[in-house]
Amino acid sequence: MVYRSEGAPDAPYFTPVQSPPAGTATAEHPPTLFSPLKIRDVTFQNRIWVAPMCTYSADKGHLTDFHLVHLGAYAYRGASLTIVEATSVTPNGRISPEDSGLWEDSQIAPLKRIADFLHSQNQKLGIQLAHAGRKASTLAPWMSKERGKAIIATEEAGGWPGNVWGASPIKWGENWAEPKEMTIADIKEVVNGFRDSAIRSVKAGVDVIEIHGAHGYLVSSFLSPISNRRTDKYGGSFENRIRILVEIIEAVRAVIPSGMPLLVRVSATEWMDKTAPESWDVESTIKLAKLLPALGVDLLDVSSGGNNEKQAVAMFSEYQISIAGQIRAALLAEGITNLLIGAVGMITEAEAAKEIVEAGKNVEKADTIEISDEQGAIAKADIVLVARQFLREPEWVLRVAHNLGVPVAWPKQYQRAPFPKGSKI
């Protein structure tokens, strides 16, 4: 009998088949955090996703080998979905000149290379489609010595400060470009940009698409009555302010496969409810969330803030997770069970997860969340999205499993180096 290592199917080079994929629980009855979840035609082996993280390292919108290594490191170590950073649908929708883009066909190939690698490891790739709006044309954050202070990218630095778009001509803050109020034609161009970028995403082999409607970028600025002072059909009432997002969702859903999950990220509150007579708040997000399933959205990714420099964020370890739980509870109270909720923010540890979700103790001191109640009585979310902790620990999924005592599959090449039994990693 001849023994031969089986290679991954359809890979253009040899790499051993990873079956089951890394991050899959190998014992029966794992906690929900390590239970599979199917969304439309896509099955995720656990509930831990890599959130989009801007790296300001693209070349004229094209992803590079840096992104292949950066994203691949999380995926083959067990994250069930790795989402590419905010990827602009138009050239002027980038945050910085070095942002990822998908506004032209030449940008498909480097994205496809990443998708092909992840698929060779039996893992899934998502992409976050975005437009930066009035927060566009800035330099990478490491160019500023003051944290949170933007530096405008001038034409000499590859920027476009004279072509920054916004819902209204209201600057985000002192050190930001003066935005132009978008015309109806501009809005149509952006909606078509999301549509065309979604088509390119499908051609590249992406498994999941997320629409970025958070953090003060274009869609977020339309949602807020503070940054949206328009008097046409895209401003004023709640229905008018969400119109651009609805049009984007409809345009994207129409061109992607019916079995592909579609996500939307929002800032559930802009943290201005105590300082402004009207703002985008949790109740606004709940109202929006109730409309999303009928539009073909499968998951609401709950973040917050970023739309106003005067925001007053009530910071504690579960400051965003508790909002996700509030939204999920409101949906379930009305019998809406076909919109999943993703929680993000300050998720770093796993050990206290069971106590938090089962006993409800020490909520303000908790560092993580586990989703264990499929009926919604306790669970605050269906998925956790983790960002900075993966920068610190690319193997975070494996460490969480180890610390929770959950046996999971490792990459075959790494199986000889498990965490030592009884060790606290």
pLDDT tens-place values along the chain, 425 residues long? 668 899 999 899 999 999 999 999 999 999 889 999 999 999 999 999 999 999 999 999 999 999 999 999 999 999 999 999 999 999 999 999 999 999 999 999 999 999 999 999 999 999 999 999 999 999 999 998 777 678 999 999 999 999 999 999 999 988 899 999 999 999 999 999 999 999 999 999 999 999 999 999 999 999 999 999 999 999 999 999 999 999 999 999 999 999 999 999 999 999 888 888 899 999 999 999 999 999 999 999 999 988 888 887 776 667 788 899 899 999 999 999 999 999 987 666 654 333 323 223 333 333 344 444 433 345 688 999 999 999 999 999 999 999 999 999 999 999 999 998 877 66
The residue count for the chain:
425
Task: Tell me if the bond preceding 31 is cis, omega within 30° of 0.
Answer: no
**CA of 89: how far to CAs of 93, 323, 324, in Å?**
7, 29, 27
Query: How many Å separate Cα 324 from the centre of its chain?
Result: 14
- Which CA distances in Å does 243 have to 247, 326, 365? 6, 24, 38
The percent of the chain in helix, strand and coil, each rounded to the nearest 5, is 35, 15, 50
Please state, in angstroms and rounded to a whole number, the distance separating the CA atoms of residues 202 and 112: 9
217 counts as catalytic: yes
Q: Both tokens of residue 361? A: 């103790």
CA trace torsion 208, 210, 211, 217 (10° rounding): -150
Cβ–Cβ < 8 Å for 153, 111: no
Q: Which domains, ranges and CATH numbers included, belong to the chain?
A: 32-414 (3.20.20.70)
Identify the active-site residue in 76, 217, 234, 319: 217
CA distance 129 to 93: 10
Tokens of 224: 């807020």
Closest listed residue to residue 40, CA positions, set 262, 267, 320, 328: 262
